[in-house]
Amino acid sequence: MPNPSSSERALIFTGGSLGPWSLALAQPDDYLIGADRGALYLVEHGIAPDLALGDFDSVDGEALARIRAAAAETAEYDPVDKDWSDTELALREALARGYRDIVIAGGLGTRFDHSLANVQLLVVAAEAGAKAILVDAHNEIRLLTEGGRLEADARYPFVSLLPLTAEATGVTLTGFAYPLSDATLRQGMSLGVSNVLTADEGFIALRGGSLLVIRSRD
């Protein structure tokens, strides 16, 4: 089992939409987890996962043999006798191994049910005291449960704030084109959609509730 002090971040490749952008996320010291078809994606690109896990119902026998041979560790689960999705298994395993900085690539894709479930996994990470981010080719999604700083990123010019709880209170934005002052954002409101930073960094104050911070590009 790795020591997070020497490998600070867990990078999970799961079975949604992946591409060259996802490989570019990898840093030399990342602990790489491949979940189901995400493990095959890594192997097909010459990258050995530190951990491959899942029920592997999305790969055939030959592909699974390749995964087993390449991965430093493999954990296989019965597709019927498990309560969690492969992505949730990967996240919970990363948390159990002590990682508190987690990036999930491939958690968004054509299956909206899976995408929405994976967005809600950000709550699981937050409750464990971890910072988790969902990334795909056009979006970066994180959960904010208290105030924070947001650095400008040319890859994602748009910033949207959507409450994940029934409401988010005391929302104050500084450094944004459309500032807010002690606002309440309720589910169903589009007030926080499609803002932009006007400085090198912006600040988000939050008194109560939680916010999805979605940075995106067209």
68 burial (CB, 10 Å; 0-12 / 13-18 / 19+) is middle
Determine if the pTM surpasses 0.95.
Answer: no
Number of domains in the chain: 2
Identify the domain containing residue 151 by its residue range: 144-216
Q: Is 27 part of any domain? A: yes
80 pLDDT higher than 70:
no
The CATH number covering residue 153 comes to 2.60.120.320
Q: Which of 137, 167, 188 is the last residue of a domain?
A: 137
Q: Is 47 part of any domain? A: yes
Task: Note the pLDDT of residue 111.
Answer: 86
Q: Is 4 part of any domain? A: no
Q: Which of 105, 137, 169 is the last residue of a domain?
A: 137
Q: Which of 122, 137, 152 is the last residue of a domain?
A: 137
**Do 43 and 117 reside in the same domain of the chain?**
yes
- Quick one: which of 166, 173, 174, 172 has its CA closest to 210? 166
Q: Is 3 part of any domain? A: no
pLDDT band (50, 70, 90) for residue 81: low
Q: pLDDT tens digits, residue range 141-185?
A: 999 999 899 999 999 999 999 999 999 999 999 999 999 999 999
pLDDT band (50, 70, 90) for residue 6: low
**Do 155 and 178 reside in the same domain of the chain?**
yes
Q: Is 2 part of any domain? A: no
**Do 117 and 49 reside in the same domain of the chain?**
yes
1 pLDDT higher than 80:
no
Torsion of Cα atoms, 74 then 78 then 82 then 88, to 10°: 30
**Do 90 and 178 reside in the same domain of the chain?**
no
C-alpha distances in Å from residue 155, one per residue of 63, 135, 138, 211, 217: 34, 12, 8, 21, 7
Task: Note the pLDDT of residue 15.
Answer: 87
Task: Note the pLDDT of residue 4.
Answer: 62
